[in-house]
């Protein structure tokens, strides 16, 4: 699996968790019993797998190289598109976390903010993933020189090895499976 296929595969796992988040929101909407502590697990996944692990590779490796090598078109695509969406996602998660705390402190109306921020994140990420898989990654593969692609391949492999040593992938992929079972 090359570095692009790896990132597309990670998107598949992220989309699984997005489905879980949506199911939790539906439970909140229907006033079904919800363990709001579970939201902290979902937030942990988003921050440490989707953002730090996956977006970390994109931001530190791929996007950086695209801007460096491919000029204004890549700069617009990356800086004014993908990075803005990464930051917007972080804002939704920060607001989600604050809303969960408020609900747990007894503010029933904050359930609305839980749903609004979680669903906004889910919708943003679905559109974002679609753009990356079908536009950004293809643009990079088609236009980056082979030498740069080879370097990205090596750098991503090292990034993955470091994460595997810390069991990042195992922890978060197991977490997705556990949440999928829990929220059926």
According to CATH, what is the number of the domain 3-183? Answer: 1.20.120.520
Query: Residue 160 and residue 142: Cα distance in Å, rounded?
Result: 23
Q: 6: closest CA among 179, 167, 161?
A: 161
* CA atoms lying within 13 Å on the CB side of residue 58: 27
Query: Residue 144 and residue 2: Cα distance in Å, rounded?
Result: 14
**pLDDT of 81:** 95
Query: Residue 29 and residue 93: Cα distance in Å, rounded?
Result: 18
| Phi, psi dihedral angles at 31 (to 5 degrees) | 55, 35
Q: 6: closest CA among 158, 177, 178, 180?
A: 158
- Residue 184's pLDDT band, with cuts at 50, 70 and 90, is confident
- Mean pLDDT estimate for the chain: 97
pLDDT digits over 138-176, tens only?
Answer: 999 999 999 999 999 999 999 999 999 999 999 999 999
pLDDT digits over 56-107, tens only?
Answer: 999 999 999 999 999 999 999 999 999 999 999 999 999 999 999 999 999 9
In this structure, are residues 90 and 124 in contact, taking their beta carbons and an 8 Å threshold?
no
Query: Residue 111 and residue 22: Cα distance in Å, rounded?
Result: 14
Give the mean model confidence (pLDDT) for residues 2-16: 98
**pLDDT of 1:** 86
pTM over 0.85: yes
Give the mean model confidence (pLDDT) for residues 43-60: 97
Give the mean model confidence (pLDDT) for residues 22-26: 98
**pLDDT of 39:** 98
């Amino acid at each position: 699996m090359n570095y692009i296929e790896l990132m597309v595969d990670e998107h598949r796992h992220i989309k699984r968790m997005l489905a879980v988040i949506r199911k939790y929101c539906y439970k909140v909407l229907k006033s079904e019993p919800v363990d709001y502590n579970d939201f902290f697990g979902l937030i942990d996944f988003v921050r440490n797998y989707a953002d730090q692990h996956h977006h970390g590779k994109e931001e530190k490796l791929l996007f950086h190289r695209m801007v460096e090598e491919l000029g204004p078109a890549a700069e617009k695509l990356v800086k004014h598109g993908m990075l803005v969406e990464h930051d917007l996602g972080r804002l939704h998660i920060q607001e989600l976390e604050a809303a969960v705390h408020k609900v747990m402190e007894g503010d029933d109306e904050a359930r609305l903010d839980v749903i609004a921020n979680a669903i906004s994140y889910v919708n943003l990420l679905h559109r974002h993933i679609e753009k990356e898989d079908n536009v950004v990654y293809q643009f990079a593969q088609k236009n980056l020189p082979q030498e740069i692609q080879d370097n990205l391949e090596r750098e991503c492999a090292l990034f993955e090895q470091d994460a595997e040593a810390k069991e990042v992938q195992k922890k978060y992929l197991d977490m997705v499976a556990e949440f999928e079972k829990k929220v059926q």
